[in-house]
Amino acid sequence: YETAILIHLDTIKFSPNYFLAYYHLTLTYLLSNQTEKAIETSQIALKLSKDTSLTDVSSVFLQIARGSQQKAKEILNNLIKLKENKYVSPVNIASCFAYFKDKESTLQWLERGLMEKDPNITWIKVDKEFEFLRNEPDFCRILKQIDL
């Protein structure tokens, strides 16, 4: 993860207001168990994102990493409500459920991602949060449907 962290930090040097660099840095810090640094970069991403649902997704991940399951569920429920009035990626919602290891809900939202032709579905084969589903027949079927 060290290389990814360095790349994100370089991106931030070139473009200090680019919220996606902070978003991806937050995820990389979480994957490398650097929760305190993830908290710092997540706060910057949230401030720069101007109410983007993607940063809410990273907030769910961060709350789970901090052990705040209830807060994570509140954020996730708000994302699902937000989807009624604004576009929110169903695959990103599936990612949140995957962090909770909720197989049924994860697969339901991935199916919805298929129906909505969510471009984020192209990442599910490599996104770490879906690893627990790698041998699940429904997950394998979804991967096959999108030629992954």
Q: How far is CA 145 from the centre of its chain?
A: 22
104-140 pLDDT, tens digit per residue, is 999 999 999 999 999 999 999 999 899 999 999 999 9
Q: pTM of the full predicted structure?
A: 0.81
- DSSP H stretches of helix in the chain: 2-14, 19-31, 35-49, 53-65, 69-82, 90-99, 103-116, 137-145
Q: How far apart are CA 15 and CA 29, in angstroms?
A: 19
Contact 67, 36 (CB under 8 A): no
Q: What is the pLDDT of residues 89-101, one digit of tens each?
A: 999 999 999 999 9
The position carrying tokens 């290389």 is: 3
